[in-house]
Amino acid sequence: MNNKIIAVIVSILALATTVFGQSRSRFGNLSTRGFVGTGDFVLIAGSIIVGSELKTVIVRALGPSLGNFGLFGTLQDPVLEIYDSNGGLIASNDDWRDDPYAYQVQAYGLAPSYDSESAIYDVVPPGNYTVIVRGYRESVGLALVEIYDPAP
């Protein structure tokens, strides 16, 4: 029997504001760090967008930049995929500068530190979404997936 220890760290940021004397909060970002293996051993994050309006999101998959924080064994070339609730692939990226809206990622100050990291800027309708991080050519290592709501 092959036993493995899997550690996952999840961080959720809610932004608080006061409007006309009422305190309100909204989603800021979600980040999850974990090990990306081969095959089905991927890093997964999910998001549910509610309401009736389109929502701007920025999704990132980082690997090499985690080394800047003293982490070893990082995923050197993360590949990012976003799926809708029907399992349909709606966006994917390998190397963030290759995304047609990379300039938007930069404009929000969310450009990854390394060109081999992934980022997607998209405007999506309300619904359930799954984000998957894989290693390019079945590479393995520690990665971070982030989902941002860049709206003010």
Number of domains in the chain: 1
Furthest C-alpha separation in the chain: 60
Evaluate whether residue 73 is within a structural domain.
yes
CATH number at residue 128: 2.60.120.380
CA-to-CA distance for 14 and 24, rounded, in angstroms?
10
**Model confidence pLDDT, tens digit, residues 98-141:** 999 999 999 999 999 999 999 999 999 999 999 999 999 999 99
Evaluate whether residue 1 is within a structural domain.
no
Structure tokens at 108: 């929000």
Strand ordering across the sheet containing 89-94: 43-49, 127-135, 78-83, 89-94
**Model confidence pLDDT, tens digit, residues 77-88:** 999 999 999 999
Q: Whole-prediction pTM value?
A: 0.83
Element (H, E) at 51: none
- What pLDDT is attached to residue 3? 41
Provide the domain limits for residue 123.
9-148
Q: Residue 15 pairs with which residues in a beta bridge?
A: 26
**Model confidence pLDDT, tens digit, residues 17-52:** 444 555 455 556 888 899 999 999 999 998 888 888
